[in-house]
Structure 1
Amino acid sequence: MLEVCCASLKDAIICNNNNVKRIELNSSLELGGLTPFIEVIEAIKNNTKLEIIAMIRIRPGNFVYDEYEIAIMKTQANNIVKLCDGIAFGALNSDFTIDENTTKLFVDICHNNGKKFVFHRAFDIAGNIKNIEILIKLGVDRVLTSGLKANVELGMENLKKLQKEYGNNIEILAGGGVRPDNIAFIYKNTGI
């Protein structure tokens, strides 16, 4: 399924009018994407038929969060998950391994509300393809990845491997440099 990254109601309406089915909604894309405003989520729900995955991210920078940031994002997630179809979130430890406890907390928020949990490109920052096994164990529904590289074209071999070895256990979503001019090429070479 094609998922488009959006930051506004206008973006979402354009997607809706062009037969896109799912968006990842962020604010502040220039900062790498932060938690969107609830009012924007509500406006999109009222004006489109899009499936909405909302980013939960309190600040730009790395994905290593302290207990205060986690508490705020937990509140955001609990409020937002009721309005959308799932959340995108990722947390790492200071050694850039997957923060399993925090990830499980957010997986549970989604699943307890009947929604999907997406682990975002923090997976790429962690840099270990075997981390996919941790995400599967934690119950993650989908992982957004460029194949552990700067973009999907550079990460195609890893994307292909992830899809082949783990695609039956977790949805692999290619992200980071997917464009209209390369989407067919990526699909042909990765199966994603």
Structure 2
Amino acid sequence: MTRFVVTGTDTGIGKTVFAAALAGALGAPYWKPVQAGLDEETDSETVARLAGVAVVPEAYRLATPASPHLAAQIDGVTIDSDQLMPPPGPIVVEGAGGALVPLTRTLLYADMFARWQIPVIICARTALGTINHSLLTIEALKSRDVPIHGLAFLGDAVEDSEAIIAEIAGVRRLGRLPIIDPLTPESLAAAFAENFNLADFQ
């Protein structure tokens, strides 16, 4: 069964675009458990626009654009981890920001990943600093026995950085999604097909 969690080494690196590409290629529904910030296009709306897949409604929609723990506090909402269990069947689940982003003051996304036991794809930017951020993310997930499916790099090619992260961590390099301009459903699908092997996700 095709079930993946998409997390990242940082926020604003293109994780949602990759999640859209993956969901579209697999024809799998998409789910963002917690959306923090509603003023601009949400991640679910972005994926629906770019991938045209079914989108499972968020468990929590928070108005404040901040870490979920703080957004919930400001909005007067209590996040219940029991409401964050992924639906059955094929699914692409996207976390918020990085793997150690707090959902509450005592619960991190990585803790939920460990509970779910769904293979995680780590999105890593290729810019300077990615080696450290990527290896720290991998260590944090491994320490919680989270299954890691592989690494998806985002941005311009930096061969040595991509190679050494996979080599040191012992994690599979799945491919790299380049910067896409203009970003349309067609250009995204084409870029994913050119740079990733769909068989690696099935």
Q: Which structure has the higher relative contact order (CA within 8 Å, separation 6+)?
A: 2
**Which structure has greater strand proportion?**
2
User: Shorter-normalised TM-score: what interval?
Assistant: 0.3 to 0.5
